[in-house]
Amino acid sequence: MKMSFLVGYGENYPQYVHHRGASIPADAKTGCKDGWTWLERKEPNPNVATGALVGGPFLNETFVDDRNNSMQAEPTTYNGAVIVGLLSGLVTTSSAVPSFT
């Protein structure tokens, strides 16, 4: 698929992230129940949730980029924790980067 599941990185990343802040324009006047209007829009999100890590592909390596597909297109904190752990491990074990400890 040659797709980045880290939003905003690479040439091909999810455009329809299941995230209210990404899918509703910053200047929109909305109420609590108006989010459904933006959820159903066919256009890509007006705001890029840079750095958000979405659920990613299914086991058969398919990914449906759709706001209603919360299993694959919703950013989650438990996915991001893996990246933070890996990057912090690299920083503390790399000879190129001085340790913070």
What secondary structure letter does DSSP report for 39?
H
C-alpha span between 97 and 81 (Å, rounded): 21
What are the tens digits of pLDDT across the range 10-63?
Answer: 999 999 999 988 999 989 888 887 778 888 899 999 999 998 889 989 999 999
pLDDT of residue 42: 93
- With beta carbons less than 8 A apart as the criterion, state whether 24 and 14 touch: no
DSSP string, 79-98: HHHHHHHHHHHHHHH-SSS-
For 20, the token pair is: 């209210």
Question: Is pLDDT above 90 for 79?
Answer: no
pTM of the model: 0.73
Active site residues: 18, 65, 74
